[in-house]
Chains A and B, each alone.
Chain A
Amino acid sequence: MKIVSMMIPLLAAAALVAGCGEKPQVLTHEPGKYHGKADTRPWESAAYGGDKARWESDMRARIGNQNELRRMPAD
């Protein structure tokens, strides 16, 4: 009887765990949200202090700088 009382919760636990087979394996992954450890956004850093617009315009300038065609003198 001792074995019975030991086996039943064990098997019940296994069955409970097994009931969760389903295809979508990712929990809710909304952009910018994470249920684990929190991460700040890039514009929330010391350099920008939450000024998203300034961060975006800086980034845009930086991205545009990669285009050397735009930096060439027009002929």
Chain B
Amino acid sequence: MTRPFIPCLRSAAAALLATLAITAVPAVAADAPPANVAAEAIGAGLVQPGNNADAFRDARRGQDQSITFAAPADRVLIQSEGEAWRQMRNGPITEYGGWALVVVFLGLVVFYAIRGEIKLEDKRTGKLMERFKFIERLAHWSLASTFVILALTGICMLFGKHLLLPLIGHTAFGYLAWAAKNVHNFIGPLFFISVVLMVVLFLRDNVWQAIDALWIRKAGGLLSGEHVPSHRFNFGEKTWFWLGVVFLGLMVGGTGLILDFPLFGQTRQDMQLAHMLHSGGAMLFVALSLAHIYIGTIGMEGALDGMKTGYVDETWAREHHEYWYREARGERIPDNAPRPGHKPSTVH
């Protein structure tokens, strides 16, 4: 009797906890005031004749009301969601976002100190292979340049108040932030177009390939120094493509467009949601991009050549992308990669 009862109880408790977590989190974060409303209603015995309390409560509830001079952004006159947005933006997004940048940066410093630059093992042959076509480099560098501008201006708007404002004063910082906002707003759409172009151009070579499993098992050989074979892009590059460019790029870019063009009847609530996704995603994006920039420049010998000139040395290609190199030379790739039950080219 007790045996089935205990797991049953446990699962019930787990379900209850899950429900509580789901309901309590927004209740605490978004709607703390309504709890006050309830408490106040009980405390006052719900009757406050000739008083304002009921009218304000009804106005807050937002049902059955008409507003004179309603702006397109108003769904109700008195909104509660603003407080949740404020706590999110001034709290976790600023705090964890800032720490994410610091942690990734310090992590890279430590990694560089331990591992140093990943050098080519053999001498350069002097023979070059084309790695990126002109259009691919164009897409990458337009994405990269808009990204850096947007990151710097965005960081200026999120953290500048704490760092720059005390240094340069209100007037100078006001002009700087004004310029930053406008640059951010005008560069943003270009970034989105670059992301879309990037996705289209690089999608084909970023699908799952069997050899990627080996890369995952050996963690890319990043610490061991071993060279894991891969096709044109290894799994690390694919992760950056799918998580960074596709997911974060489209999300941050898309929400940015919502914020940038408040012409389509977006309510304040839509803007709050878009802003939270935008700034939260952007902080993650910038933090991850530090690692990408690192490995593409000072972290690995010869990595920048491919994106700079379009050509890489054959030694580099052979050491870092063996299968791609051999395929390019017309060799047949022995499909010796382990296949631990992966369906090819689906997820990620």
Residue positions of A touching B, CB distance < 8 A: 3-4, 7, 11, 14-23, 25, 27, 35-37
Take A3-B297, A17-B163 as given contacts and tell me if A25 and B94 are in contact as well, using a CB distance cutoff of 8 Å.
Answer: yes
- Least Cβ–Cβ distance between B201 and chain A, in angstroms: 24
Binds A, one of B15-23, B154-162, B239-247, B332-340: B154-162
Are B162 and A37 in contact (CB-based, < 8 A)? Answer: no
Given the complex, which residues of A lie within 8 Å of B163, measured CB to CB? 16-17, 20
Given the complex, which residues of A lie within 8 Å of B169, measured CB to CB? 35-36
- Residues 123-168 (chain B) with a chain A CB within 8 angstroms: 151-152, 155-156, 159-163, 165-166
How far apart are the CA atoms of A23 and B166 in the complex, in Å? 17
Given the complex, which residues of A lie within 8 Å of B98, measured CB to CB? 18-21
Q: What residue of chain A has the Cβ atom nearest to residue B96's Cβ?
A: A21
Q: Which residue in A4, A14, A18, A36 is a CB contact (below 8 Å) of B99?
A: A18
Given the complex, which residues of B lie within 8 Å of A7, measured CB to CB? 293, 297-298
Are A18 and B155 in contact (CB-based, < 8 A)? Answer: yes
| 10 A-B pairs with least C-beta separation | A21-B98, A18-B101, A36-B170, A20-B162, A21-B95, A18-B98, A15-B105, A25-B90, A21-B94, A17-B159
Give the bracket for the number of chain B residues in contact with chain A.
Answer: 20 to 34
Q: Is B229 an interface residue (CB 8 A)?
A: no
- Least Cβ–Cβ distance between A13 and chain B, in angstroms: 8
- Residues 80-109 (chain B) with a chain A CB within 8 angstroms: 90-91, 94-102, 105-106, 108
Are A20 and B159 in contact (CB-based, < 8 A)? Answer: yes
How far apart are the CA atoms of A4 and B102 in the complex, in Å? 19
Are B102 and A15 in contact (CB-based, < 8 A)? Answer: yes
Q: Is the interface of B mostly helix, strand, loop or mixed?
A: helix
How far apart are the CA atoms of A35 and B165 in the complex, in Å? 10
Take A14-B290, A18-B102 as given contacts and tell me if A23 and B95 are in contact as well, using a CB distance cutoff of 8 Å.
Answer: yes
How far apart are the CA atoms of A56 and B91 in the complex, in Å? 40
How far apart are the CA atoms of A27 and B151 in the complex, in Å? 24
Q: Which residue in A14, A20, A25, A37 is a CB contact (below 8 Å) of B170?
A: A37
Q: Is B304 an interface residue (CB 8 A)?
A: yes
- Least Cβ–Cβ distance between A39 and chain B, in angstroms: 12
Q: Which residue in A4, A14, A27, A36 is a CB contact (below 8 Å) of B101?
A: A14
- Least Cβ–Cβ distance between A5 and chain B, in angstroms: 10
Given the complex, which residues of B lie within 8 Å of A20, measured CB to CB? 98, 159, 162-163
How far apart are the CA atoms of A22 and B96 in the complex, in Å? 9
Given the complex, which residues of A lie within 8 Å of B166, measured CB to CB? 27
How far apart are the CA atoms of A19 and B6 in the complex, in Å? 48
Q: Is B171 an interface residue (CB 8 A)?
A: yes
Are B94 and A22 in contact (CB-based, < 8 A)? Answer: yes
How far apart are the CA atoms of A21 and B163 in the complex, in Å? 10
Are A11 and B171 in contact (CB-based, < 8 A)? Answer: no
How far apart are the CA atoms of A22 and B162 in the complex, in Å? 9
Are B171 and A15 in contact (CB-based, < 8 A)? Answer: no
How far apart are the CA atoms of A10 and B160 in the complex, in Å? 16
A11-B108, A23-B94 given; name 10 further pairs at CB < 8 Å: A3-B298, A4-B298, A14-B286, A15-B102, A17-B163, A18-B98, A18-B102, A20-B159, A21-B95, A27-B165
